[in-house]
Amino acid sequence: MEKQARRAQVLRHAKRIFARKGYHRTNVADIISRARIARGTFYLYFENKKDLFEELLEQVLRELAVRIHRIRIGPGEPEPADQLRANLRRVMSFVLSERDLTNILLSHALGFDPELDERIQTFYDRIAAQIQRSLDLGITMGLVRRCDTRTAAYCILGGVKETIAQLSRQAPPDIDGLVEEILRFGLSGVARPELLETLRNIGEP
Amino acid sequence: MEKQARRAQVLRHAKRIFARKGYHRTNVADIISRARIARGTFYLYFENKKDLFEELLEQVLRELAVRIHRIRIGPGEPEPADQLRANLRRVMSFVLSERDLTNILLSHALGFDPELDERIQTFYDRIAAQIQRSLDLGITMGLVRRCDTRTAAYCILGGVKETIAQLSRQAPPDIDGLVEEILRFGLSGVARPELLETLRNIGEP
Amino acid sequence: MEKQARRAQVLRHAKRIFARKGYHRTNVADIISRARIARGTFYLYFENKKDLFEELLEQVLRELAVRIHRIRIGPGEPEPADQLRANLRRVMSFVLSERDLTNILLSHALGFDPELDERIQTFYDRIAAQIQRSLDLGITMGLVRRCDTRTAAYCILGGVKETIAQLSRQAPPDIDGLVEEILRFGLSGVARPELLETLRNIGEP
Amino acid sequence: MEKQARRAQVLRHAKRIFARKGYHRTNVADIISRARIARGTFYLYFENKKDLFEELLEQVLRELAVRIHRIRIGPGEPEPADQLRANLRRVMSFVLSERDLTNILLSHALGFDPELDERIQTFYDRIAAQIQRSLDLGITMGLVRRCDTRTAAYCILGGVKETIAQLSRQAPPDIDGLVEEILRFGLSGVARPELLETLRNIGEP
DNA sequence: GATGAATGAGTCTTCATTCAT
DNA sequence: GATGAATGAAGACTCATTCAT
């Protein structure tokens, strides 16, 4: 498994450089000098520069997707709000542990290849759709106020993305507190006003 | 001023191409062939390719900044919520009228030059700060519930950005309705629960 | 027409280098240094290295094709043998005046691109077919002995090609004499006419 | 001798690939994957890629040379024409049995290395010289008409080469018939014997 | 002997920018 | 001012060959 290790090594270095300089300002020369391999070795492990970049991108998308669980309703399932909280925590802690990957996704992924743009857009759209479905479900269950859930979904997604962007820029604060703050912001926003009295206590002792 | 007209003409063409293909995939050749000027002429009007791109970027940032007014409290001033609504409307209608510029800002601006990244980040930070100040003010005035206004500000900013991104992708829907939806989402989120009863009527007859 | 002149200049230099070193051992660097142009200038005039090479090749094939006239029978037309002689003379003098081109065709054209190989093969096949048609006509007219005209055609073509190859290698001799020699060989072979009666039966029962 | 067998195996595979794709478009990777040996192993058996190619080339030249016997005059020797016929038959049947080698010689050998070009040229020159000597002898013996034997030799060589090239491209026809056809062409040309009297004066004062 | 991962020199090609006309 | 031919630095990628295991 030496070979895989070497490959992972190159990926690790490339990740860091791509995160700092973006795709276009990163040369293959940069990567190989950091990874201390020869030019040809690079092409032994990766089809080309774009291929490597895409692999990193796929990696973030995959890892993020894994951490976002569908909200489940039913006996034995945690409270929806708790499921949301868990989702956010998983995402946030991943972001913190993989700032470079996050940075690549947020700052350098968009706009350099139509196909890849599509790929990313689809990823976000899927998440937005998932949020929207949860909201629709919440309305049915009487937990969420009536609203344009599509717009609300994008507002929530956007809010999370922006907070994450901040997170990847600055020293990592108290994740749990941050998550609570976002949750409260989001929930109070979409919850049915009549239920606000009840929901207000979510996440508080 | 013939010269200024010519220059504007080039800017207009470049804007469209940059919006579609991004900075790196757009050649000077693309621009000059669209603008029907000679290669050399391009450099009479613009320092270089990057310069032109930055000018477009400055343009969006400027236009957006102009449309975002500081919330003012005082006798004779409109309700804060109405001021928010007006801000959002101005921004949204600008986005709709200048989708290419918006697209450049949202999809192609980040990550190709550290200096420019800084410039854009500062722009967003300034807006976030402005939102945060408004929230802090709202708290003081008893309109906004106590919360981490910094995080809330980024959530609001993110939500608006994401909605705008959607807007620039799809056929323009009912802007006013969209604005109300965002407003309600945001206000219900940050407003003091005790005031929700009152705020709920915002934007409704 | 300055531009065409420059282009022709590059073609001229490239022709010489390709003739001496072949396609693969010739670098773009070789060509541009000989032609005293910058790297980029090369690509201003030619799609790429292969493109330039193919253009030279097309040029030889075209020039040769133009010099090989179809044998015409009819009142007012020269004797067939004279038409053959004229064809050979035109081809031979072209070869002499364009030794580099000839060399490219004979030594470097084959086997570096399937498509091009096809192109060249087709060219030769067309000439062989033309010769064969003339032979068939000659048989009909009682000028040519009965034989496998297809094989005879390839023998004639091969003989001419080989002589040309010699021509392009060595100091140019008396072209007219050479042409006569080839003609006589093609028409009557090497055997002493007096002995043909005997030899004619060779290999036949 | 296991080693020799292995080596021959590689040669066999390489021969086929070189014949199809030529020297430059054939990678060492192609060869080793076909021969199912490791990269390093290749270099145990051959100095380098060129070396292997040259070995194949030497092989054809050697095999061909072996099959071309000098024409011998004397009591107990077969008729010169029969000796010619035997030569042609040996060469032709070798060509048929080793089409790949023939193809390498005819299509891919020339023009990729000056030294090798020289080698091949010398080979052909030697054959041409041999033919020429035979012709000169034939003249002395009164079998061959007076002519420029050098040119005639190249015509004969060329005719044979071209026929062989056809042979290696197409389905193998009746070899013996082909040989007779070539022989007859060489000996008596294409003109009807009855007309030779007239034609003999062609081009002469 | 055999292996195949590693090497890096060698090439082509692109494209923003310049400058003589 | 306008032009567009010319420039050349920069960068991606290939592939024959080596060498440690």
B164 vs B155: CA distance, rounded Å = 14
C76 shares a domain with C37? no
Q: How far apart are CA A158 and CA A161, in angstroms?
A: 5
Distance from residue C37's CA to nucleotide E9's C1', rounded to whole Å: 24
Say if residues B196 and A196 touch (Cβ distance below 8 Å).
yes
- Pair A4, A15 in one domain: yes
Residues B182 and B118 in one domain: yes
D37 and D110, same domain (yes or no):
no
Which single residue is written with the structure tokens 């043998």? C81
Point out the residue among C188, C190, C203 whose CB comes nearest to the CB of D191.
Answer: C188
Last residue of a domain, one of D13, D31, D46: D46
pLDDT tens column, D72-103: 988 999 988 899 899 999 999 999 999 999 99
Q: Are C187 and D190 in contact (CB under 8 A)?
A: yes
In a domain, B205, yes or no: no
Residue A168 lies in a domain: yes
DSSP H or E run through A39:
helix A39-45
Torsions phi, psi for B144 (to 5 deg): -115, 140
Per-residue confidence (pLDDT) for residue D172, from 0 to 100 = 66
Look up the CATH number of the domain holding residue C78: 1.10.357.10
Structural domain includes residue B52: yes
Residues (pLDDT < 70) of chain B are 1, 171-172, 189-205
Phi then psi for C147, rounded to 5 degrees? -165, 175
Chain E positions with any atom < 7 A from a protein CB: 1-20
Considering the domain architecture, whether residues B75 and B141 belong to the same structural domain is answered as yes
Note the pLDDT of residue A202.
37
The pLDDT of residue C193 is 66
State residue C92's pLDDT score.
94
Shortest CB distance from D112 goes to which of C22, C81, C188?
A: C22
Instruction: Give the C-alpha separation, C184 to D190, whole Å.
Output: 10
Are A154 and A53 found together in one domain?
yes
* Cβ(B123)–Cβ(B65) below 8 Å: yes
Sign, CA torsion A78/A82/A88/A91: negative
Q: Based on the domain organization, do D70 and D15 belong to the same domain?
A: no
pLDDT less than 50: residues of chain C: 1, 199-205
Give tens-digit pLDDT for D43-80: 999 999 999 999 999 999 999 999 999 989 889 999 88
Q: What's the pLDDT at D1?
A: 56
Instruction: Kindly state whether residue A205 falls inside one of the protein's structural domains.
Output: no
Does the residue D205 lie in any domain? no
Domain count, chain D: 2
Of B151, B158, B178, the CB nearest to A158: B158
Whether residue B189 contacts residue B153, with contact meaning beta carbons closer than 8 Å, is answered with no
DSSP letter at C142 equals T
Amino acid sitting at position A108: H
Same domain, A14 and A63: no
Give the dihedral of Cα atoms B41, B44, B47, B49; nearest 10 deg: -10
Buried (b) or exposed (e) across A98-113, using 16+ Cβ within 10 A?
Answer: bbbbbbbbbbbbbbbb
Q: Same domain for C114 and C146?
A: yes
Distances (CA, A) of C87 to A41, A42, A135: 57, 58, 87
> Does the residue C58 lie in any domain?
yes
What string of pLDDT tens digits covers the 205 residues of chain A? 477 788 999 999 999 999 999 999 999 999 999 999 999 999 999 999 999 999 999 999 999 999 999 988 889 999 888 898 999 999 999 999 999 999 999 989 887 788 888 899 999 999 999 999 988 888 888 778 888 889 999 999 999 999 999 988 886 678 899 998 898 888 775 455 554 444 344 333 3
Q: Do both C61 and C79 map to the same domain?
A: yes
Burial code (b: 16+ CB inside 10 Å, e: under 16) for C129-168 equals ebbbebbebbbeeebbbebbbbbbbbbbbbbbbbbbbbbb
Same domain for C37 and C77, yes or no, is: no
Distant-in-sequence, close-in-space partners of C56: CB < 8 Å, separation ≥ 6: C11, C14, C15, C18, C101, C104
Using the Cβ of D157 and the Cβ atoms of chain C, whether some distance falls under 8 Å is answered with yes
Domain that holds residue C11: 1-46
Query: Would residue C205 count as lying in a domain?
Result: no
Element (H, E) at D176: helix D175-188
Q: Does A182 touch chain B (CB under 8 A)?
A: yes
* Subunit contact C189:D193, Cβ cutoff 8 A: no
Model pLDDT, residue C143 = 86
Footprint of strand E on the protein (CB under 7 A): A 2-3, 6, 37-41, 43-45; B 26-29, 39-40, 42-43, 48-50; C 26-29, 39-40, 42-43, 48-50; D 3, 6, 37-41, 43-44
CATH number for the domain spanning D19: value is: 1.10.10.60
Query: Which segments of chain C does DSSP mark as H helices, in order?
Result: 2-21, 28-35, 39-45, 49-67, 80-97, 99-103, 114-141, 149-169, 175-188, 193-199
Model pLDDT, residue C203: 42
Domain presence at residue A26 = yes
Q: Are residues C56 and C154 in the same domain?
A: yes
| Residues β-bridged to residue A144 | A191
